Amino acid sequence: MEIRVTVNGKQHVSDVEPRTLLVHYIREVLGLTGTNVGCDTSSCGACSVHVDGEAVKSCTVLAVQADGSAVTTIEGMAAADGTLHPMQKAFMENHGLQCGYCTPGMVMAATSLLKENPNPTEEEIRIGLEGNLCRCTGYHNIVKSVLAAAGK
């Protein structure tokens, strides 16, 4: 089936099997491998991307469901000149990652969270990131990073 998806501002027209998952479309068809596959069961959040501005788990969305949508992946966060997105910068400055595997999903979930709640408390950040698992950091520096990105 032919789909038209705008990914990181660029329109793509692709012929995909209906069973193709959005994460595989992003990684294997478009070659954008910043989006990771973690659990593949909609638990860990490593595959989080934005569809029309909202975080979703791309392992649980069919590419055909995203037809006509605007998708943003971690590759679309920094400016064209390489200037990091404020959330990426906050993760870097606050040591919000260790191995980095969950980080693309964390950044996408956290930016979606701030869009819905620009001024979250620490607790709201912890609850807001319930869909993203990190096995390294114990979450403290991730929460610090999001607080910093929110200007706190």
Nearer to another protein, 93 or 116 (CB): 116
CB of residue 18 to another protein, shortest distance in Å: 4
Give the separation between CA 22 and CA 66, rounded to whole angstroms: 7
Task: Pick one of 6, 14, 33, 43: the residue that binds another protein (CB under 8 A).
Answer: 43
Residue 130 within binding range of another protein, rule CB under 8 A: yes
How would you write 61-102 as a 3-class SS string?
A: CEHHHHCCCEEECHHHCCCCCCCCCHHHHHHHHCCCCCCCCC
| Class of residue 14 by CB neighbours under 10 A (exposed 0-12, middle 13-18, buried 19+) | middle
Nearer to another protein, 40 or 75 (CB): 40
Residue 60 within binding range of another protein, rule CB under 8 A: yes
CB of residue 80 to another protein, shortest distance in Å: 27
H runs (alpha helix) in 6-150: 22-24, 86-93, 103-116, 122-128, 140-149
Residues that bind another protein (CB under 8 A): 1, 17-21, 24, 40-43, 45, 48, 51, 54-57, 60-62, 64-65, 109, 112-113, 116, 127-128, 130-132
